[in-house]
């Protein structure tokens, strides 16, 4: 058999496996890379099946050097589309629930390799053995519709393997929220939740769905700078029929609610976290949840005691010290302004490097800032030579809002 004929057979086997995965609904995703066609700067294409207006479509994410472009195709055209794209790509990886197929091509031949997806098989076995018990511990229903357009589940409400970590994060977040919700005072009005820097809305949708299924009808708003993300989330809102969930294009400067009960800011970059916390305190939020990142403000100011210099000669320790001091002052300020405050690991480092959570719930006996706690902050600042901490300036009405609300 000639190499040309062999290559054709290998490629056809790959296409047949793709079509079978689509028909049996075992398809997870396909990644096409090393593109050599007419589209300039295209690096790779990732295709998945999603639901769009209650109809399954093949959604392709075209990743260029400077942007991502999404295109959707009818499933009836999927086979021809993959065949056309394969003609311009040197490598293709097909992932199903049970196996992975890799097609690699060069000028002389094509090579197809098939490996069993051991992790998926093990996960399915574990799910079968523990499914009933595990379902009891989930805070988000796996069959909730919104998870499909967000790319967490497929059209059979099964978790897409590549999104398993995100699924775990979502449930852990709602678990933390649920525990804190039990500690705050019940409100006479409808619960008002604002999520600053909501991104694709994974946690925003999950919170709304969880509260609605607890018999509440909350007002939930996701605030996001990216207009395309806002437009996408609004479409998912409509498809999910979440009547009191909306998304606002802006940041903590431009979105100014009259009141809120729960303020959330996950991964707001640098001092954007401080502005979000200040908004929560100023509006007397009953719960404040933050997962800070990019602790840039204090590190240039820090003049650490000489006794610590041997430890801080290693750069990673200097960064960790700045992070610890930044979040300690935030936590102490929350405590001083009437909040029971905890700082803890949100999810394990294996799932995200941004894993610290600051959780604060309002005390009902608060009358005035705790001077003893404020004195502790002064002592820490003096020890490290800190002149400026944004949250402290905001609480003292000494900051002019500029260049905040960004996400990294």
CATH of the domain at 201: 3.40.50.150
Distance CA 54, CA 71 (A): 17
What is the distance between the alpha carbons of residues 231 and 223, in angstroms, rounded to a whole number? 12
- The answer on 201 and 320 residing in a single domain is yes
Among candidate residues 321, 264, 332, the one with its CA nearest the CA of residue 298: 321
pLDDT surpassing 60 at residue 351: no
Q: Which of 56, 88, 119 is the last residue of a domain?
A: 119
Q: How confident is the model at residue 50 (pLDDT cuts 50, 70, 90)?
A: confident
Q: What six digits make up the tokens of 339?
A: 């909040």
Q: Tell me what the mean pLDDT of segment 207-236 comes to.
A: 92
**Do 58 and 165 fall within a single domain?**
no
How far apart are the C-alpha atoms of 383 and 360, rounded to whole Å?
Answer: 26
Residue 99 shares a structural domain with residue 188: no
pLDDT at position 365, please?
87
Look at 105 and 373; give whichever has higher pLDDT. Answer: 373
With a cut of 90, say whether residue 293 has pLDDT above it.
Answer: no
Q: Which residues contact 195 (CB under 8 A, 6 or more apart)?
A: 203, 204, 207, 220, 221, 222, 223, 264, 265, 266
Q: How many domains does the chain have?
A: 2
Does 252 have pLDDT greater than 80? yes
Give the pLDDT band (50/70/90) at residue 10.
confident
Whether the per-residue pLDDT at 72 is higher than 60: the answer is yes
- Is the Cβ–Cβ distance between 32 and 92 less than 8 Å? yes
Kindly state whether residues 86 and 168 are assigned to the same domain.
Answer: no
Quick one: the chain helix, strand, coil %, rounded to 5?
40, 25, 35
Q: What is the mean pLDDT of residues 387-395?
A: 89
Burial of 15 (0-12, 13-18, 19+ CB in 10 A): middle
Cα distances (Å, whole numbers) of residue 59 to 47, 90, 294: 5, 21, 33
**Claim to verify: residue 165 and residue 99 sit in the same structural domain:** no
Nearest to 288 by CA among 198, 368, 193, 396: 193
pTM greater than the 0.75 cutoff: no
- Model pLDDT, residue 61: 87
| Average pLDDT score over residue span 61-87 | 87
Cα(37)–Cα(34) distance, integer angstroms: 9
pLDDT for residue 349: 43
Same domain for 175 and 85 = no
What value does the mean pLDDT of the chain take? 84
Same domain, 195 and 337: yes
Lowest mean pLDDT among 62-76, 148-162, 196-210, 240-254: 62-76
352: confidence class by pLDDT, cuts 50, 70, 90: very low
| Cβ atoms of residues 75 and 22 within 8 Å | yes
Domain that residue 390 falls in: 161-395
Confidence of residue 120 (pLDDT cuts 50, 70, 90): low
- 107-111, 315-319, 332-336, range with the lowest pLDDT: 315-319
Examine the domain organization and report whether 110 and 256 are in the same domain. Answer: no
Mean pLDDT, residues 356-382 taken together: 93
Same domain, 194 and 286: yes
Instruction: Say if 149 falls within a structural domain.
Output: no
Final residue of a structural domain among 119, 150, 185: 119
Higher pLDDT, 349 or 70: 70
Give the Å distances, CA to CA, from 276 to 15, 147, 248, 262.
50, 27, 15, 11
- Identify the bridge partners of residue 29 per DSSP, sorted by sequence position: 95
329 touches 389 (CB < 8 A) = yes
Picking from 392, 395, 396, 371, the residue whose alpha carbon sits closest to that of residue 381 is 392
Q: What CA–CA distance (Å, rounded) separates 193 from 262?
A: 5
- Reading the block at residue 153, the tokens are 């589940």
CA distance 146 to 239: 8
d(CA 262, CA 284): 9
Residue 7: CB partners within 8 Å, gap ≥ 6?
105, 109, 110
- The conformation of residue 293, written as its DSSP 8-state character, comes to E
- The answer on 114 and 30 residing in a single domain is yes
Strand order in the sheet with 68-74: 68-74, 55-64, 42-52, 27-35, 89-96, 99-105, 110-116
Looking at the fold, whether 343 and 287 belong to one and the same domain comes out as yes
Joined together, the tokens standing for residue 194 give 């604002």
For residue 126, being part of any structural domain is answered with no
pLDDT average, residue stretch 385-399: 87
CA distance 219 to 225: 20
């Amino acid at each position: 058999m000639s190499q040309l004929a062999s290559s054709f057979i290998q490629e056809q086997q790959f296409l047949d496996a793709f079509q079978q995965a689509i028909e049996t609904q075992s398809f997870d995703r396909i990644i096409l890379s090393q593109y050599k066609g007419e589209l300039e700067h295209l690096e790779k294409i990732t295709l998945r099946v999603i639901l769009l207006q209650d109809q399954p479509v093949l959604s392709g994410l075209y990743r260029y050097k400077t942007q991502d472009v999404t295109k959707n195709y009818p499933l009836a055209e999927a086979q021809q589309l993959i065949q056309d794209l394969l003609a311009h790509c040197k490598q293709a990886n097909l992932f199903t629930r049970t196996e992975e197929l890799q097609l690699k091509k060069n000028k002389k031949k094509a090579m197809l390799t098939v490996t069993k997806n051991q992790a998926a098989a093990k996960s399915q076995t574990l799910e079968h053995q523990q499914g009933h018990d595990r379902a009891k511990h989930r805070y988000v229903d796996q069959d909730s519709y919104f998870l499909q357009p967000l790319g967490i589940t497929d059209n059979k409400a099964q978790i897409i393997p590549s999104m398993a970590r995100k699924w775990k994060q979502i449930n852990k977040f709602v678990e933390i929220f649920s525990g804190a919700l039990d500690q705050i005072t019940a409100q006479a009005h409808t619960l008002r939740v604002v999520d600053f820097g909501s991104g694709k809305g994974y946690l925003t949708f999950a919170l709304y769905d969880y509260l609605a299924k607890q018999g509440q009808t909350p007002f939930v708003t996701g605030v996001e700078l990216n207009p395309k993300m806002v437009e996408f989330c609004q479409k998912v809102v409509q498809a999910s029929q979440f009547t009191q969930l909306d998304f606002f294009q802006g940041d903590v400067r431009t979105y100014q609610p009259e009141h809120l009960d729960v303020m959330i800011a996950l991964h707001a970059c640098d001092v954007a976290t401080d502005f979000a916390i200040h908004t929560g305190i100023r509006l007397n939020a009953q719960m404040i949840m933050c997962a800070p990142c990019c602790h840039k403000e204090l590190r240039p100011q820090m003049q650490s005691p000489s006794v610590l210099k041997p430890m801080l000669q290693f750069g990673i320790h200097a960064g960790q010290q700045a992070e610890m001091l930044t979040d300690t002052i935030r936590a102490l300020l929350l405590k001083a302004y009437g909040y029971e405050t905890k700082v803890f690991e949100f999810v394990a480092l294996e799932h995200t490097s941004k894993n610290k959570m600051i959780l604060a719930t309002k005390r009902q006996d608060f009358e005035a800032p705790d001077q003893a706690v404020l004195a502790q902050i002064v002592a820490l600042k003096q020890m490290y030579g800190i002149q400026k901490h944004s949250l402290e300036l905001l609480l003292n009405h000494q900051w002019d809002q500029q260049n905040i609300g960004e996400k990294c």
